[in-house]
Amino acid sequence: MRRHSVVAIWFLAPSVLGFLVFYLIPFAMGVKYSFMDRPNDGSFVGLANYKALLHSESFRKAAKNTFLFTLGGVPITIALSLSLALLLNQSIYLRNWLRTAYVMPLVVPVASVVLIWQVLFDWNGAVNSWLHGLGVSRTDWMKSEWARGVLAVVYAWKNIGYDIILFLAGLQHIPRDYYETADLEGAGSLHKLTRITLVYLTPTLFFVVLMGLISSFRIFRETYLIAGDYPHDSIYMLQHYMNNMFLSLDMQKLTSAAAVMVVCMLVLVSGMFALERRFTKDLD
C-alpha cells in the first residue's frame, strides 16, 4: 500500500509543481501586493487598497453586473439543459444526432463562435434583418440593455451541451426498478420526476450548479471578443475591471479585486458543498 502511495505521489508531482509555480505562488504574491502601496519596495497599508476598491464606482458596477448575470444566466441554462437531457434520455427520433448537435459548441473555437454571434446581432446582422422584415425597428443589441440578454444566450449556447452530458450520465445511473415500481403503484409523470428523478439527480445537479457558477465568472472571454475593452455598462464584468486595471498598471486595485473575487468564489463553493452534504446524506 505504501509503495502504491509513493508511485502515486511521483506521478502527481509534475502537476502539483506546475500548480504551485503557475497558480498558487503567483496568487499568494498578488494577495501580498494587495496590502502594499506599490509592488516594488512598497509599504504595508493594511486594508486601504480594499477600501479604495469598494469605493470605486467601476468595481461596484462590475460586481453588480457579474452578480446579476450569474443570478439570471446560470438558472436558465441549468433549467434548459435539464429539460433537454430528460428529453434526450427517452427514445425519440434522431436522438443520437441531437446529442451530437448539443456537444458541438464544446469543440468549436471561441473566436469563431463569437464571430457568428457578431454577425447575428450586428446592426446590419441577421436578427435585425429578420426583425426589419417583420416591420420591427432595428436594435443596437450590444450597445443597449439587450446586451446582457445576448450574453446570456451566448453563455447558455456554449455551456448547455456540457450540462446535458452530465445530466444524461446522472439519469442513466438511476435504477429503472424505481420507475417500474412507481408505475405499478400508479404514480404520474410529475410524481416520478420530483420523487425519483430529481432526488437521485441531486449530486449531479449540485455539481452542474457549481460548474455553472464558476463558468459565469469566466464569461469575460466571450464578452471581450464581442464588445471589446469597454462594453455596454450592463455587461461590464469583474474581469473587465481587472483587465483594465492591468492595462493601466494599477496593481493594487487589480490584486485586491482578484482577491475579493476568489474569496467570493470560495464562499459560493463552500456553501454548495455544505448544501450537497446536507441533501445527499439520506441517499447513502
* High-pLDDT (> 70) share of the chain, %: 94
Three-state secondary structure call for residue 27: helix
Q: Does residue 134 belong to any structural domain of this protein?
A: yes
pLDDT exceeds 60 at position 284: no
Q: Are 270 and 56 in contact (CB under 8 A)?
A: no
pLDDT exceeds 60 at position 31: yes
Q: What is the grid cell recorded at 48?
A: 486601504
253 CB neighbour count, 10 Å cutoff: 22
Q: Does residue 12 belong to any structural domain of this protein?
A: no
Cα→Cα distances 94→80, 98, 99, 101, Å: 19, 6, 9, 11
211-265 residue pLDDT tens? 888 888 878 877 887 777 678 888 888 888 888 888 888 888 888 988 888 888 8
Band (93; pLDDT cuts 50, 70, 90): low
Q: Does residue 40 belong to any structural domain of this protein?
A: no
Three-state secondary structure call for residue 56: coil
Q: How many residues are there in the chain? A: 284
Residues 16-39 have a mean pLDDT of: 85
pLDDT at 96: 67
42-85 residue pLDDT tens? 788 888 889 988 888 989 998 999 888 888 888 999 999 998 88
Q: Does residue 185 belong to any structural domain of this protein?
A: yes
The Cα 225–Cα 154 span in angstroms is 12
- E-strand ranges in the chain read none
132-179 residue pLDDT tens? 778 878 887 878 888 888 888 888 888 888 888 889 888 888 888 878
Query: What's the domain count of the chain?
Result: 1
pLDDT at 95: 65
Q: Beta partners for 44?
A: 36
pLDDT exceeds 80 at position 112: no
The Cα 260–Cα 59 span in angstroms is 11
Q: Does residue 28 belong to any structural domain of this protein?
A: no
CB burial of residue 179 (10 Å; 0-12, 13-18, 19+):
middle
Band (186; pLDDT cuts 50, 70, 90): confident
Q: Does residue 196 belong to any structural domain of this protein?
A: yes
pLDDT at 283: 59
The Cα 154–Cα 16 span in angstroms is 34
- Whole-model pTM? 0.80
pLDDT at 94: 65
| 103 CB-near residues (< 8 Å, 6+ apart) | 161, 164, 165
Q: Does residue 39 belong to any structural domain of this protein?
A: no
Sign of CA dihedral 50, 54, 58, 64: positive
pLDDT exceeds 70 at position 20: yes
Q: Does residue 172 belong to any structural domain of this protein?
A: yes
pLDDT at 92: 67
* Full domain range(s) for residue 201: 46-280
Q: What is the grid cell recorded at 106?
A: 464544446
Closest CA to 224 of 102, 75, 117: 117
How far is the first Cα of the chain from the last one, in angstroms, to the nearest whole number? 27
The Cα 200–Cα 275 span in angstroms is 15
CATH classification of the domain holding 50: 1.10.3720.10
pLDDT at 128: 83
